Structure 1
Amino acid sequence: MNGITGRMGYRQHLLRSILPIRDQGGITLADGSKLTVEPILVGRNEDKLRELAQKHRVEHYSTDLDSLIDDPSIDIIFDASMTSLRYDTLSKAIAAGKHIFTEKPTAENLDDAVDLARQAKAKGITAGVVHDKLYLPGLVKLRRLVDEGFFGRILSLRGEFGYWVFEGDIQEAQRPSWNYRLADGGSMTTDMYCHWNYVLEGIIGQVKTVTSTTATHIPTRWDEQGEPYEATADDAAYGIFELETPEGDPVIAQINSSWAVRVYRDELVEFQIDGTHGSAVAGLNKCVAQQRAHTPKPVWNPDLPVTESFRDQWLEVPANADLDNGFKLQWEDFLADVAAGREHKYGLLSAARGVQLAALGLQSASERRTLDIPEITL
């Protein structure tokens, strides 16, 4: 598990995914057998690795990633390190015949992202890319509504994501300073459009065009040492996407992403789908819906205060199942695919489309125009 001392690698992948899978005795496969996991912690700081290993009863840790990639007793290489290092890490792992599971973006540019997909296909390994949001309870419920035909013909999707990230001068920032330096791989567009691509694909359909505007709302921030620095990366991205459903229907999606916005909604990210037969709003956990027969008939009158509570007119969508941590659920799916020797449904080609959307989003913002999204083939 490379990059495990980072926030996401530690909290979501080690603490909330692999360790619970280990402690529950592994996962049960289709034939009734058990597949167990034994993590090896990898990073640059040996002291941090030793501390984590002792704290969580992990036997093995190392600062030598290359030797582990070459170790024939290791089956899977997971990567959550810096994006700038990911292409080389994954290429070495694929060449060594390892199955790979990785955070995104999978590469800094589209050519490298597509090349990784080609390498994995040629080698015949199982490759998975973190698509955690599709496993979140709110989006699982939203996808179920789509599958059940609740919306009728889908018309549009609107998304709101973000929160206020403190500048770091008076209150410590909640995100690392590299997020706001373009040279270090920072960028709201680069970070989040990879997510939005698989969310839009996984819930509605393929993204056909992108129109994007970016901004660096906070030009000066303070780093981990308390020193001011110029924020050169965009901290907000406002995107409009044209989609196509599997049935060929056009859908307009609009998603705002910002680290310079204060939250006035139920969750840090929310998506609303509107269709001819109904609408639904989903966050990380909750999903509420309103069908056509229960849709009220508001009348615009700016001279009178609104007396009806629009939020109370929606019904919560039940889970109807126990929904575990989204990262853990995808890990379990991926491990089952490795054991079965089959392709993971969220692989490197899907990740390449995310890299492509981010690059075209930045290009669209720079050129102030709508861009078509070419289809990627291997």
Structure 2
Amino acid sequence: MTTQRLGLIMNGVTGRMGLNQHLIRSIVAIRDQGGVVLGNGDRVMPDPILVGRDAGKVEALAKRFDIARWTTDLDKALSDKNDTVVFDAATTQARPFLLTKAINAGKHVYCEKPVATTFAEAIDVVKLANARGVKHGTVQDKLFLPGLKKLAFLRDSGFFGRMLSVRGEFGYWVFEGGWQEAQRPSWNYRKEDGGGIILDMVCHWRYVLDNLFGEVESVVCIGNTDIPERYDEKNRTYAVTADDSAYATFRLKGGVIAHINMSWVTRVYRDDLVTFQVDGTHGSAVAGLTDCMIQARQMTPRPVWNPDEKRMHDFYADWQKLPDNVAYDNGFKEQWEMFIRHVCEGAGYKYTLLEGAKGVQLAECALQSWKERRWVDVEPIRV
């Protein structure tokens, strides 16, 4: 058994997602466990170089996690032939430009989503990556959540029978700033900077729906800007120009209807920050980030509508919790390991930049639907 080095350029790890999920809980965790095991028993040890604009922040992160290399010079990092993979978790607007530079430098690329702010830009990057023969991937993290893995298990076991509908609820109250610090960066609320909940979240719903319930065929969507003014990171007021809530209905291949509410201006009264209820002829399930509750048709109560009497029945008691029969690793880390195996031994991998482009396509269709007040068909992608 041998251990090989994988040189990894990591851009955008000073942000919340890049730091917590990708650096700490993925790459540092992989390093601490002794690398990624390949099919032949060999191991791959990622050797990251951290890239960012703020030298102080990047150097501090490198020291904190005992990472030997960091830089503010992305071009210099891209010129090093010993680093073969580029990861990006910085701003969406800058992503197509960065990926294009990395691909032209012959690097394999892996990135957060959205992969671009427009479908045209996303497809251009896909075509370039395919033409240059580099391996590429897009983070599809919600597929690796324990709750959604349990939904996939139920689907594969035939629990639902014929699936009928999916109802998703996502969101929480993001403080406006000023009197309490906001939990999301200010650019999320500026359309000109690539912000907006439709672009951000519909990219997620595309891969969730496609992979779990049926490929998306059409969408109708309405968005809104509910909070017109917020405070930025320097406690200065700014005008909100992007949507902060949206409500979308999707027609899926096979006949399933999915509806998802998404909002950064809602107060949570449910079991988790995101929940999906799946109803089928043989059973229903409600999944959050980790847990999943089920109700088979044999256990379904017989409600009778009567508004004249107070409802005393405990409907929650009619559901059972699906047991945790397997141990679930961090979803971001799991997908990182899959991508590393893809790069180093050619293991199969489906979550490519094309899957990321599909998410941007659906977001554009949703925005078009909102603008034109109509259903919009989602056309097949040919590259």
Relative to the length of structure 2, the TM-score reads: 0.96
Instruction: Tell me what 2:6 maps to.
Output: none
Q: Is the 8 A contact 1:126 1:343 kept in 2?
A: no
Q: Does 1:305 align with 2:310?
A: yes
Q: Does 1:271 align with 2:280?
A: no
Report the Cα distance in structure 1 between the residues aligned to 2:297 and 2:111, rounded to whole angstroms: 41
Instruction: Tell me what 2:326 maps to.
Output: 321
Where do 5+ consecutive residues of structure 2 fail to align?
A: 1-9
Instruction: For residue 176 of structure 1, report the CA deviation from its aligned partner.
Output: 0.9
Report the Cα distance in structure 2 between the residues aligned to 1:173 and 1:235, rounded to whole angstroms: 13
The count of residues paired between Structure 1 and Structure 2 equals: 374
Where do 5+ consecutive residues of structure 1 fail to align?
A: none
Instruction: Tell me what 1:355 maps to.
Output: 360
Report the Cα distance in structure 2 between the residues aligned to 1:85 and 1:202, rounded to whole angstroms: 28
Equivalent in 53, 60, 63 of residue 44 of structure 1: 53
Counterparts of residues 1-378 of structure 1 (less than 5 Å) = 1-244=10-253, 249-342=254-347, 344-378=349-383
User: What is the alpha-carbon root mean square deviation over aligned residues?
Assistant: 0.9
Q: Is the 8 A contact 1:164 1:260 kept in 2?
A: yes
Report the Cα distance in structure 1 between the residues aligned to 2:168 and 2:75, rounded to whole angstroms: 41
Residue 189 of structure 1 aligns to a residue whose secondary structure is helix
Instruction: For residue 342 of structure 1, report the CA deviation from its aligned partner.
Output: 4.5
More moved, 113-122 vs 98-107: 113-122
Q: Partner letter of residue 329 of structure 1? A: E
Percentage of pairs with the same residue: 53
Report the Cα distance in structure 2 between the residues aligned to 1:284 and 1:123, rounded to whole angstroms: 37
More moved, 182-191 vs 223-232: 223-232
Q: Partner letter of residue 217 of structure 1? A: D
Instruction: For residue 344 of structure 1, report the CA deviation from its aligned partner.
Output: 2.2
Instruction: Tell me what 2:4 maps to.
Output: none
Q: Deviations over 1:104-158 (max 9, x none)?
A: 1111211111111112222222211000000010000011111111101110000
Q: Partner letter of residue 51 of structure 2? A: V
Report the Cα distance in structure 2 between the residues aligned to 1:176 and 1:321, rounded to whole angstroms: 35
Q: Partner letter of residue 191 of structure 2? A: L
More moved, 32-41 vs 13-22: 32-41
Query: Which ranges of 4 or more aligned residues in structure 1 deviate by more than 2 Å?
Result: 341-344
Report the Cα distance in structure 1 between the residues aligned to 2:177 and 2:107, rounded to whole angstroms: 40
Residue 249 of structure 2 aligns to a residue whose secondary structure is strand
More moved, 316-325 vs 53-62: 316-325
Residue 232 of structure 1 aligns to a residue whose secondary structure is coil
Instruction: For residue 340 of structure 1, report the CA deviation from its aligned partner.
Output: 1.5
Report the Cα distance in structure 2 between the residues aligned to 1:325 and 1:345, rounded to whole angstroms: 19
Report the Cα distance in structure 1 between the residues aligned to 2:101 and 2:188, rounded to whole angstroms: 26
